[in-house]
C-alpha cells in the first residue's frame, strides 16, 4: 500500500517564499553543495546519494532547512526520501536567482 505522504511535510507554497530565507539557506557550503548535486541530477535524489562531509543527523537538518525555505521538495518513497529542486516555484518568485547562484557556485 502507498498513501501520499508528501503533503505531511510542510513545504511553503510559492507565494510564501522569502528571499531572506532562501539566501540564508544557500549561504551554507553544505547546503549549496546539496543544491548543486540536485541541479546536476536533474531529478530526484535520496539523502544517502550525497557524499556529504557531515553525519546523517546534520544532513537531515540541512535538508529540512532547504525544504522549509522552499528550495527543495521532499517526497517519501519507501525508506528513502527523494529530493528535488523547486525550480519552477523559485523562478516564479525570484526569476533567475537559482540559476545565477548555481552559475556563481560552479566556477
Residues in contact with DNA by CB under 7 A are: 2, 5, 24, 27-28, 30, 46-49, 54-65, 74, 76, 78-81
CB closer to DNA out of 14 and 56: 56
What CA dihedral angle connects 60, 16, 28 and 5, to 10 degrees? 20
Q: Is the distance from CB of 24 to CB of 62 less than 8 angstroms?
A: no
Instruction: Please identify, using beta-carbon distances, which residue of 1 and 106 lies nearer to its own copies.
Output: 106
Query: Smallest distance, Å, CB 75 to DNA?
Result: 11
Interface with its own copies by CB under 8 A: which residues?
19-21, 23-24, 26-29, 32, 93-97, 100-101, 103-105, 107
Distance CA 23, CA 33 (A): 14
Q: Helix, strand or coil for residue 51? A: coil
Amino acid at each position: 500500500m502507498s498513501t501520499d505522504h508528501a503533503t505531511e511535510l510542510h513545504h511553503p507554497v510559492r507565494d510564501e517564499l522569502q528571499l531572506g530565507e532562501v539566501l540564508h539557506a544557500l549561504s551554507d557550503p553544505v547546503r549549496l553543495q546539496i543544491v548543486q548535486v540536485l541541479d546536476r541530477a536533474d531529478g530526484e535524489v535520496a539523502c544517502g546519494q550525497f557524499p556529504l562531509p557531515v553525519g546523517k543527523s546534520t544532513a537531515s537538518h540541512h535538508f529540512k532547512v532547504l525544504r522549509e525555505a522552499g528550495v527543495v521538495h521532499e517526497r517519501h518513497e519507501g525508506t528513502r526520501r527523494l529530493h528535488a529542486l523547486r525550480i519552477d516555484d523559485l523562478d516564479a518568485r525570484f526569476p533567475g536567482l537559482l540559476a545565477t547562484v548555481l552559475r556563481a557556485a560552479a566556477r
